[in-house]
Amino acid sequence: MQIENIIEQKNLKLTSARRELLEILLKENKPICFEDIKDKLTMNKATFYRNILKFQSNDMINSFESNDKKRYYELQNSPHSHFICNICNTIECLKKIDNIELEGYKVMDVVFKGICKNCLEQSR
Amino acid sequence: MQIENIIEQKNLKLTSARRELLEILLKENKPICFEDIKDKLTMNKATFYRNILKFQSNDMINSFESNDKKRYYELQNSPHSHFICNICNTIECLKKIDNIELEGYKVMDVVFKGICKNCLEQSR
DNA sequence: TACTTAAATGCGACTTAATCGCAACTGTAG
DNA sequence: CTACAGTTGCGATTAAGTCGCATTTAAGTA
Ligand SMILES: [Mn+2]
Ligand SMILES: [Mn+2]
Ligand SMILES: [Zn+2]
Ligand SMILES: [Zn+2]
């Protein structure tokens, strides 16, 4: 199983809450926020946030806030950036943009905001 | 005065709350969050947020969330992107990165996260 | 298998950003 | 000066996120 491996690699206890959370994140396969999944969650919300924190400090997930002012979490399968549409609020995962470098900085994450393909087309 | 012009261009009422808020944003000249300025604010916080909203819908300010989970607001003088350091949490305004284009998208804002110059140097 | 213990959990209280409805107020056009 | 739409203050409300503490549990060891 993937989950067992993920947890073991990070030297974390495999608890039922963690299994549940990782299963959700795996299944979704796109950024999700607390509101999206709170009804599915068996665990207490404090446990949810503590595990999110733990996973983040172990580089297992990343998070960012979207235009709806909600924080989105996703598994860090492969590093990639995100595009958030200012019109429809859709979050898209972009393939890694490898030409983005800033002199003197180490870029680890990029979030683009603007107008997505769909919304651009509809505005014509 | 700048403020009068800004407001007039957007067909908004120039109220004392709006003058105060714009003065603060002008003076700061960098992204600030509610907590940073709430003590200076004369207006009620509902008024603060309503004006922030109004200014945003009029493209006068933009906002983004930083690593400290606080939302930062700044005047949209000239379009530019931001770099947020994952170590020291500093927010830097970057000169417009003009080579950032995504096929089919209209990019209006970019937020980079990673390690800033200072923190990179200190880690050596 | 049973024991041990550090780590994880549930619960309830708490903090604080952000929003909302409503009555009172104010900026601006005429 | 007046009228009125738009704005404000206030108080209540919602919801994300955090915290302390008592209880439970995963996982290593005997
Ligand atoms: Mn993604
Ligand atoms: Mn800036
Ligand atoms: Zn869109
Ligand atoms: Zn830094």
Which residues lie closer than 8 Å to A61 by C-beta, 6 or more apart?
Answer: A25, A52, A55, A73, A74, A75, A76
**Strand ranges (DSSP E) for chain B?**
32-33, 61-65, 71-75, 81-85, 91-94, 106-115
Residue A39: pLDDT over 70: yes
Chain B residue numbers with beta carbons less than 8 Å from the beta carbon of A104 are 117, 120
Say how many C-beta atoms besides its own lie within 10 A of residue A85's C-beta: 23
Nucleotide nearest to B18 (CA to C1'): D7
DSSP letter assigned to residue B109: E
What integer is the mean pLDDT of A91-95?
Answer: 91
SS3 A48: helix
Q: For chain A, what is the radius of gyration of the CA atoms?
A: 16
Tell me, what's the pLDDT at B1? 63
Chain B residue numbers with beta carbons less than 8 Å from the beta carbon of A65 are 64-65, 69, 71
What integer is the mean pLDDT of A106-115?
Answer: 91
Residues near strand D (C-beta below 7 A) are A 7, 13-16, 33-35, 38, 45-46, 49, 53, 70-71; B 12-13, 15-18, 42-44, 46-47, 50-51, 54, 69
Lowest mean pLDDT, pick from A89-93, A118-122, B79-83, B96-100: B96-100
Is strand C less than 7 A from the beta carbon of B13? yes
CA of B122 to the centre of ligand 4 (A): 9
B81-122 pLDDT tens trace: 999 998 888 999 998 666 677 889 999 889 999 999 999 999
Residue A99: pLDDT over 70: no
A13-34 pLDDT tens trace: 999 999 999 999 999 999 999 9
Bridge-based pairing of strands B106-115 and B81-85 is parallel
Which of the listed CATH numbers 3.30.230.10, 1.10.10.10, 3.40.190.10, 2.70.70.10 matches domain B3-75?
1.10.10.10
Domain residue extents for chain A: 3-75, 81-122
Say how many C-beta atoms besides its own lie within 10 A of residue B121's C-beta: 10
Tokens of A68: 């709806």
Q: How far apart are CA B51 and CA B46, in angstroms?
A: 9
